[in-house]
Amino acid sequence: MTRTPIDPVKLDKLAEVAIRVGLQLAEGQDLVLTGPSTALPLIRKIAEHAYKAGAGVVTPIISDEEVILARYRHANAASFDKAANWLYEGMASAFSRNAARLAIAGDNPMMLAGQDPAKVARANKANSMAYKPALEKITGFDVNWNIVAYPSPAWAKQVFPDDAEDVAIEKLANAIFAASRVDLADPISAWKEHNANLKKRWSWLNAHAFASLAYTGPGTDVTIGLADGHQWKGGASQSKNGITCNPNIPTEEVFTTPHALRVEGYVSSTKPLSHNGTLIDGIRVKFEGGRIVEAKATKGEDVLNKVMDTDEGGRRIGEVALVPHSSPISQSGILFYNTLFDENAASHIALGQCYADCFINGKSLTPEQIQAQGGNKSLIHIDWMIGSDKIDIDGIKADGSRVPVMRKGEWATA
């Protein structure tokens, strides 16, 4: 028997946590599962746990790096404005029939690094447009959904470039297992406790009903207005089909919807952002009336500006999230080159689409009502990290009074 760098017991626990904590898959529920071909061992384990939990039909949709690169190498020009609309229509149809959604992250973060940025942008745009009907059912939280990660070889080498491949995979696997709490004796009850802690934080924020948050720190001096009727969330939450799930594994954030028109000042990023194979670093933007009127980056500035020009909402923000600097992912000191992990290492904001569920009665609001209350609308949703141990955040109430929320990157209250 050959030794595998990925602990099979922990991998099995990760699959179990994805089904029982992440999705809380219901008896008889179908499951649409997406992931890279490199993640087949986890895809198989997830299918096993899904059927053990009573799944109807599990349908895996597998992507492959070589197939994607073949397109960039050999496809004709017209290919880059096309997308598999039929597939996304099918996914949207599955979600309207109450299928759950599970995505496995683990793609090579630098997969498209050497490709023509114009082709990448066109292909992404075509894909985003085709994906929209299905994505709206996820962002609108129609069904229970979940993302977990798998330590694919190229990703592992990106995170640990100085190690041999099997060592890098083992290190990344262990980092994923720790962050996903599957290295603990009882991951299911560990998640219950973690969800309760997150609930304590978002309940406190909701009770204060701040009108805005003011951030100060190196390169950052910004006031972020919060949307009218916003509510804070984090950890487990209930989807429209009545199932309480944990969409992100791992997760350390509490988050809400900012007001698309009420952001003023300067923000600097505190960690690099890996976006479709490009590393964007040293971001510094200026907001006026909620819109980014100036964006600079020491690396990837072109890509940043291009992606923000996807549509009108691409230069406005749709999410504001708070993560203490002491979060386990932050303390691991690892840059994962993957938003699922890196966004949980620091407080962040996201360019683009807001989450309808971050409004009081959000599930029953129309897209027009959400927009009227300040929710942003865009084809993109890109999180970037603005938190560190040097950031102070105050909550500002409607009457102008201020309450400390975070000091030096940590919660200001016990």
Q: How far is the CB of 344 from Zn ion (least distance, A)?
A: 8
Work out whether 252 is an interface residue with Zn ion (CB under 5 A): no
CA angle 88, 93, 95 (to 5 degrees): 95
Of positions 252, 342, 357, 383, contacts Zn ion by CB under 5 A: 383
Distance between CA atoms of residues 17 and 28, nearest Å: 18
Tell whether the torsion through CA atoms of 234, 240, 243 and 248 is positive or negative: negative
Of positions 112, 205, 321, 340, contacts Zn ion by CB under 5 A: 321
Nearer to Zn ion, 30 or 343 (CB): 343
Stretch that binds Zn ion, among 178-186, 200-208, 223-231, 315-323 (CB under 5 A): 315-323
Judged by CB under 5 A, the number of residues near Zn ion is 7
φ/ψ (deg, to 5) at 113: -55, -35
Tell me the C-alpha to C-alpha distance, in Å, between residue 180 and each of 143, 150, 344.
22, 11, 11
Nearer to Zn ion, 107 or 383 (CB): 383
Q: How far is the CB of 271 from Zn ion (least distance, A)?
A: 13
List the beta bridge partners of residue 264.
Answer: 223
Which residues, 341 to 370, sit near Zn ion by CB under 5 A?
Answer: 343, 350
Q: How far is the CB of 204 from Zn ion (least distance, A)?
A: 18
Q: Is the peptide bond before 41 cis (omega within 30 degrees of 0)?
A: no
| Burial of 191 from C-beta contacts in 10 A (0-12 / 13-18 / 19+) | buried
Binding marks (x or -) toward Zn ion, 253..292, rule CB under 5 A? x-x-------------------------------------
Distance between CA atoms of residues 387 and 186, nearest Å: 31
Q: How far is the CB of 27 from Zn ion (least distance, A)?
A: 31
Half-sphere exposure of 324 (CA within 13 A, CB side): 14
Stretch that binds Zn ion, among 69-77, 164-172, 370-378, 379-387 (CB under 5 A): 379-387
Stretch that binds Zn ion, among 40-48, 107-115, 278-286, 340-348 (CB under 5 A): 340-348
Stretch that binds Zn ion, among 2-10, 36-44, 52-60, 247-255 (CB under 5 A): 247-255
Q: How many CB atoms lie within 10 A of CB 2?
A: 3
Distance between CA atoms of residues 260 and 291, nearest Å: 8
Of positions 30, 107, 319, 342, contacts Zn ion by CB under 5 A: 319
Nearer to Zn ion, 357 or 383 (CB): 383
Q: How far is the CB of 13 from Zn ion (least distance, A)?
A: 25
Q: How many CB atoms lie within 10 A of CB 97?
A: 11
Residues that bind Zn ion (CB under 5 A): 253, 255, 319, 321, 343, 350, 383
